[in-house]
Structure 1
């Protein structure tokens, strides 16, 4: 299932099938670039609404991000249950202090533990989904991505 062989709707909203590393990286580039651009626009155009609009964008992008990542796990012949590694990342994003918070405070043991857990989970996702090759033949999730 490459960007060419499936519709954008299937890519972003279906949890069925497989995508390769190329599609996974293209999605992540678009995902993070759109977040950075949106954050910059919010802070420049509507700074008072940024604390509300940015989490809304992340919520809107959550399903597409999980769908693409699930298909990448499938490409590695692993189930969508591996998406649970994203939970510490989501919690970690919510724990990031805002500009109005005092950045001089010392992180608690819970903050440090959550950060380390998010780092470990994110690293595992990066290695498995971003760096390791696909199962080359058909697997229980379908044929490999063409392209």
Structure 2
């Protein structure tokens, strides 16, 4: 899955917590969120004069608007490795929770069908 397809898929499945998401879909969407937040943060500081990181108007609004699709793709990614989306709550455990989730998000997909749906489609070239 390429960058555009991943972003389009994540927004199309805005609040769809069912099914599975390939590693590429998840990580391309994370990259999109990172780049968009950085650009919007720069625009915030240039236009509105916010010099303190984390203070602004556009970047926080974008983060709020993309919260649900980022949770949904995270849950679908966990489904792809055979784990419940509720494991996203590990983020509430400082440091250790993030590390565990990053390792799981980087884990190879389960082959074939699992409790959350059929296996991911093979990547087409």
Query: How does the TM-score come out when normalised to structure 2?
Result: 0.79
Q: What's the C-alpha RMSD, in Å, of the aligned pairs?
A: 2.5
Provide the aligned length of Structure 1 versus Structure 2: 116
Distance of aligned partners of 1:26 and 1:18 in 2 relative to their CA distance in 1, 3 Å threshold: same
1:127 lines up with 2:95 in the alignment = no
- How far the C-alpha of 1:18 sits from its partner, in A, is 0.3
**Correspondence for 1:42:** 44
Contact 1:19-1:144 at 8 Å conserved across structures: no
Query: How does the TM-score come out when normalised to structure 1?
Result: 0.68
**Correspondence for 1:14:** 16
Choose which of 45, 52, 55 in structure 2 pairs with 1:51: 55
**Correspondence for 1:100:** none
Give the helix-richer structure, 1 or 2.
1
Choose which of 57, 80, 84 in structure 2 pairs with 1:79: 84
- How far the C-alpha of 1:8 sits from its partner, in A, is 4.8
What SS is found at the alignment partner of 2:49? coil
Identify the structure with bigger relative contact order (alpha carbons < 8 Å, sequence gap 6+). 1
What SS is found at the alignment partner of 2:115? coil
Distance of aligned partners of 1:87 and 1:60 in 2 relative to their CA distance in 1, 3 Å threshold: farther
Structure 1 residues without counterparts, runs of 5 or longer: 89-116
Looking at CA atoms only, which structure, 1 or 2, has the larger radius of gyration?
A: 1
Q: Deviations over 1:57-78 (max 9, x none)?
A: 2211110110110100000111
Contact 1:19-1:72 at 8 Å conserved across structures: yes
Q: Deviations over 1:70-103 (max 9, x none)?
A: 1000001111111112345xxxxxxxxxxxxxxx
- How far the C-alpha of 1:52 sits from its partner, in A, is 4.7
